[in-house]
């Protein structure tokens, strides 16, 4: 009786594990390999800036820091598309400067707000007024992350200063803070821009982006950027990258996210199918032996009854 009961329990557990394994293959990837709708990320960068002093006509170099705040707009997002608001402030890091200052402060290099939307799986820009204000700037390519399961290939990458996407070309694989990353290079040269209101100029930038390929999360991004007036006078030379603390924080986040992905999309199917199959086989074996034992006991009783008669 116990053998029969335990066999049924094993069959139930086995069926549960097999269903869990199937969900790990069919359902989990479509759920976990999507950009979350509750992102509120603050990114810190540091470096140097050479900025034109209009009084002396010379470039003056100072340390600089950048704060970028990226938030999802859940009210204008859905199961397929996520809307974003990103504010960026570049400040000369002198006299105990805060992360951002107002427009009257001479330490301000630039401040901007960007509104965009992206596909939650491919991370590519989506220009649809269902997710964006009517006056939002159209975007193209990738903005703030790479797709899940990124490849060693070329992706379009949005450059907000140039106002169009540029090619981000896979360059190498490199370990950063313990995280294996794909490193992409992107560059733009002589892009026409407005240096300030009513003042035209050009823009160069060389960008390197370290991407954790499983999640598509950017682990480091460096820029070597120059801006010129139309007569060739350089007005800005900016060299920035994520701070060491920021790199470590993103590495810790990547480890957690990769572990979650592995549990749901790799280990759940392995444990589900392997454990489920073993439990089903063991349960069937127990039920079969219990039936044989019951049949044997009944046969023995009949033989004893026949002998007695």
- Average pLDDT, stretch 127-134? 92
| Per-residue confidence band for 100, with pLDDT thresholds at 50, 70 and 90 | very high
Segment 266-296, tens digit of pLDDT: 645 565 557 556 655 665 665 677 666 555 5
Q: What pLDDT is attached to residue 10?
A: 54
- The stretches of 130-267 forming alpha helices (DSSP H) are 244-262
Q: Considering only CA atoms, which of 287, 281, 278, 280 is closest in space to residue 6?
A: 287
- pLDDT of residue 30 exceeding 60, the answer is no
User: Up-side HSE of residue 295: CA atoms within 13 Å toward CB?
Assistant: 6
Neighbours of 281 (CB within 10 A): 13
- Average pLDDT, stretch 104-126? 94
The domains of the chain are located at: 2-26+264-308, 37-257
Global pTM value = 0.81
Q: What pLDDT is attached to residue 144?
A: 95
Segment 249-258, tens digit of pLDDT: 999 999 988 7
Tell me the percentage of the chain whose pLDDT exceeds 90. Answer: 64
């Amino acid at each position: 009786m116990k053998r029969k009961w335990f066999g049924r329990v094993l069959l139930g557990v086995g069926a549960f594990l097999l269903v869990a394994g199937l969900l790990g293959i069919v359902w989990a990837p479509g759920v976990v390999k999507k950009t979350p709708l509750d992102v509120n990320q603050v990114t810190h960068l540091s470096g140097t800036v050479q900025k034109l002093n209009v009084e002396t006509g010379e470039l003056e170099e100072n340390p600089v820091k950048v704060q970028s705040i990226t938030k999802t707009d859940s009210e204008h997002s859905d199961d397929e598309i996520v809307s974003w608001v990103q504010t960026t402030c570049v400040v000369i890091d002198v006299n105990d400067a805060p992360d951002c200052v107002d427009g009257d402060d001479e330490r301000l290099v630039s401040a901007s707000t960007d509104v965009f939307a992206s596909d939650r799986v491919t991370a590519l820009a989506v220009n649809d007024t269902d997710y964006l204000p009517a006056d939002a700037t159209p975007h193209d390519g990738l903005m703030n992350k790479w797709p899940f399961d990124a490849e060693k290939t070329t992706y379009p990458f949005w450059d907000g200063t140039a106002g169009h996407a540029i090619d981000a070309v896979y360059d190498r694989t490199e370990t950063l803070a313990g995280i294996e990353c794909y490193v992409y290079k992107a560059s733009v040269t002589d892009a026409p821009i407005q240096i300030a209101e009513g003042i035209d100029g050009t823009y160069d930038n060389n960008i390197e982006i370290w991407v954790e390929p499983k999640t598509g999360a950017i682990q480091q991004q460096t820029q070597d950027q120059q801006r010129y007036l139309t007569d060739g006078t350089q007005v800005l030379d900016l060299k920035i990258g994520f701070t060491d603390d920021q790199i470590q924080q993103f590495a810790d986040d990547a480890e957690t996210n990769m572990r979650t992905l592995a549990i749901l999309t790799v280990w759940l199917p392995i444990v589900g199918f392997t454990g489920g199959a073993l439990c089903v086989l063991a349960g069937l074996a127990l039920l079969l032996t219990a039936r044989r034992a019951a049949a044997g006991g009944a046969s023995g009783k009949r033989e004893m009854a026949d002998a007695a008669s």
